[in-house]
Each structure stands twice: as C-alpha cells, then as structure tokens.
Amino acid sequence: MEISSASNLCLHLISCAFQRCRLSQQLCRISAVLKSLSPSILQISISDTGIGSCLEEFQDLNCSSIIDAEFWDGILSVKTTAICDDEIYHYHLNLRKNISNSRTLTRLPSNPKNGLKFSGTEVYLCISESIDVLVSEINHFFQKIMILNIPNIAIELVTEREDIPGSRCENVFLANKSNPGPLSTSNVECLKSGLEDYVLRHGNSLTQKCNTCFATSERLKVGSGIACSTENHKSSGLMMEVVVIISELESKCPCFRECSSKTEVLYFKDFTPCSNSHSTLNVLSTIDWQSYGLTLENVVDQGVCVLEWGDSPSHSQIDMVLHCYHKQYPMHKTQPEQHLIKKAVTAALNNLKETHPGILRSAHALKICSHAPDLARSIAGLILSSNDPDFQGECFSLLGLESREIGANAVEDCIQEKIVSVIEMNDRKPRQRNVVAPSLFEDDCDQDSNYQDKEYEEGEDGFIYLD
C-alpha cells in the first residue's frame, strides 16, 4: 500500500487499530496522542486495546515518498501483545527499504505481563508535520468513521504542545451516543443507525439531531442491502453493505437543502473512509434507476461521488453509504468489489421499496397510477348505477365496505386504493416474474439493462447474493 503523506500514514495506522478493536468483539479504546515538540516536529502515539498485531499490516507499506522528502525517518516503534501472551513484545520496524527487499525488523527486550490478561498494540513514530494540519484531518476522519457506528469502540484524540503549558486537550468520540446498540449488533444494522444519525445532523454540520426538520423518525425511509463473495483458502471473502435513506423535508423548513437533486455517496473500505474509484462510478451509472422512479443525469467525481438526479422525489433528500470489507484480517487477495456494488445497491433499493410502499415507484408504475383515479371513478360509477342489489352487495363485500360506508366517494377511494396496491405489488416483483401484464410493467430499456447486467456479472461464479 502506497502512503503519499504523513497524515495518510497516521490515518492508516488508526484504521489498523480500528480493525484490531473490531475483531476483539470486546469493549475497546483507541487513543491517538499528538505531542508537538517544536513547530515542525511531531511525536505520535496510536494505541488500542484490540487484538494484538501480527506485524503483517506494516510489512507492505510503501512510504518512500514521505521518507525521501524527509518528513519521516521510516522507523516505527511497535509494542503489542495478544490475550494469550505472557509478555508485551517490542519491535523496531525500518520501512526505508523497498517492500521487495527484506525489511529490518528488530526485536527489543519484552516486558512481562505478570499474569495479567489483556491485549493491545501501540505504534510510535516521529514526523515532520504541523500539529494543526494533522489534528484537523484526524478529527474529520473520526467524524466520518462514526458513521460505521461500531458499538464496542471508543476513540480519544489527545493533543499537547510542549512549549505551551496547559495546552493538553482531549476529545472523545463515541458511536451514536444518543442510542447505543448492543455489541452483538450486525455491521449493516450499525451502518443503518450511523447513517440515520448522520442525516439527522445534516451531514455532521450539527452536533445533535435537527428537531426542526426531523420532529419524528417517520421522516426517514431506510433500506439496506448486502452482497458477498465466497470465502476459500485463496480469498478471505468480501462483504459489500449498502444503506440508502430518503428523508422527507418540508419545503418551508429553514434547513431544507437546495441540493436535494444530488446524492453524495459515502464510501468506506475495510472500515476506513475513502474516495470512490472510477470503476465504482461506472458501476453506479449502470444501475436501472428508472425502475425506482429515478432518472440519473450524471455521476460526478468531486473528491467524493455525487449522483445528480433529473427528477428526485419532491422535497426529499437521498443519502447513500457503501461499505466494502474483508471478512478476515489481515486481508488476503479477493476479487474487485465492483462485482458486488450493483447487487448490494439494488438490494437496498428493493428493501426500501418493500418496507415503504408508495416510494420509489418505477416510471411505468407512476404512469399507470396516474390513470387509477379515472379507472376507479368509472368502476365506482358502474357499481353505483346498477339496479341489481345482489350485484352491488357482492361488490361492496369484495371491497370490504359496510353499508353505512357506501357512497360515491367511499367506493371510489376504496377502488383506487386497491388498484394502486396491485400496481405497487407488481412493481416490487423481480422483472422476470412480471409475466401477468408484461405490457404494463416491462419497458423498452429492459434489453439494455439486461445487457449491462451480463456485462458486470461476467466472472462472478464465486459470488453469493444475499437478499
């Protein structure tokens, strides 16, 4: 892995600590301590109470650019211990040498644990960097990583300037403090809760939920989807989890975002926020958005992926997060995650459509629904104008109407509701099962969409789709 800056190195080390804590499945703490020895010399300690490090995570780091620029001497000091170890092991790792060559790993005298049972890792280094620049980037990193909402990890950031007495400052980050979940909560459920909190705070621009826009939780419509690759001796397996939220806002709300026609796609890889690749953007552009009543006009790379909609739901904002991670750590080689993105996003949209009837109707379903009032009015007229009381009684019984409810408006509304319900039921069915009324629920773009599906499913024999 190539590290292009001192800040990227620190964020990578924090990400490794996060992985170790996640795998411990116990309450854990990550501490990032930054001590400024001078305006340009920074002492950094990143420690965690997760599982011990196997040191493999440091071996493939390519830090030549920051070493050559003399931002860092290439030395990592590592202390680590596993729960079953009797000692705390000390190492010096010299990353100045190329990855292809054997890197110098020096084992230093270890310390006994005196019968105590604990695990953890501390990585220490000294770099040439401004503390203000690094603190800003780490704070932003921690705010984003909170979207993952992993319940067993607390994070603290400690800063201190040696030349300024009393300058020590501590900042603590906790996953979803207002509604913490149990440690057994699945990753995708944590992701749903984390994205909800992110949306309720208008994308981290607020410190707490915006009660003006979100007086009730019914304002949020949430859907999730999962796809995974098979796990074998050559591959550690790959998980792709997607959460989509549609938030309904009043147009008069002072916080109403004018950019409701755009969706920023948040992307995490192995529990680390990162930018979307061009191949990811391409996959997102091939999804059949029209099946969900959306018209994708453009996919823009603005440092983050932004989807621009031609006709997004009125007074609604669509938010989306993708998280791809390996089931095992350290990671082993897997197939590219692009194969799973389309499946997981489609599963999330289908889940949203299934659990919240009336939203994400396809373009064809919307067109048919527009004729439902006229059709209901005509059918109601035929029933009410009949002179056959037995026929009327049977119709009212089928509609579930009692005699006191019988009236033109009641009959018409009931028929329209049932028509729309049937349209939505057919609209939620997979395309290949829509054989009852193909002319109503299949369109001319099906062949193009199926062609794109085949194009992105080539070589996916080893994949499993979880609905």
Determine the distance from the C-alpha atom of residue 67 to the mean position of all C-alpha atoms in its chain, rounded to a whole number: 34
Tokens coding 410: 């009641």
What pairs with residue 229 in β-bridges? Answer: 463
400 sits in which H/E element? none
CATH number at 226 reads 3.30.230
In this prediction, residue 41 carries a pLDDT of: 87
Q: What is the pLDDT of residue 39?
A: 80
Which of 343, 360, 377 is the last residue in one of the domains? Answer: 360
Q: CA distances (Å), 43 to each of 49, 70, 104, 464, in order?
A: 20, 15, 22, 46
Q: How confident is the model over 384-435, as pLDDT tens digits? A: 888 888 898 888 888 888 765 577 888 899 999 999 888 888 887 765 444 4
Residue that terminates a domain, selected from 306, 327, 360: 360
Q: What is the pLDDT of residue 286?
A: 92
Q: From CA 319, how far away is CA 197, in angstroms rounded?
A: 12
CB 93 within 8 A of CB 104: yes
CA distances from 461 to 181, 220, 228, 237, 458 (A): 36, 36, 12, 14, 8
Cα 448 to chain centroid, rounded:
28
Considering the domain architecture, whether residues 398 and 273 belong to the same structural domain is answered as no
What is the pLDDT at residue 227? 94
Long-range contacts: 369-373, Cβ < 8 Å, 24+?
Answer: 369/420, 369/423, 372/416, 372/419, 372/420, 372/423, 373/416
For residue 249, give the nearest of 180, 318, 189 by alpha carbon. Answer: 318
Number of domains in the chain: 3
Per-residue pLDDT tens digits for 421-444:
888 888 877 654 444 554 444 444
Please identify, among 140, 174, 208, the residue that sits at the C-terminal boundary of a domain. Answer: 174
| DSSP symbol at 218 | G
Kindly state whether residues 339 and 240 are assigned to the same domain: yes
Residues in the chain: 467
Residue 447 in domain:
no
Q: Which residues of the chain have pLDDT under 70?
A: 1-2, 4, 65-70, 97-103, 176-181, 206, 215-217, 231-236, 250-260, 312-314, 329-336, 403-405, 430-467
Same domain (yes/no): 127, 75: yes
Query: Does the residue 462 lie in any domain?
Result: no
Q: Are residues 227 and 335 in the same domain?
A: yes
- Residue 393 CB coordination number (10 Å): 12
**Structural domain containing residue 249:** 187-360
Q: Is the pTM of this model over 0.85?
A: no
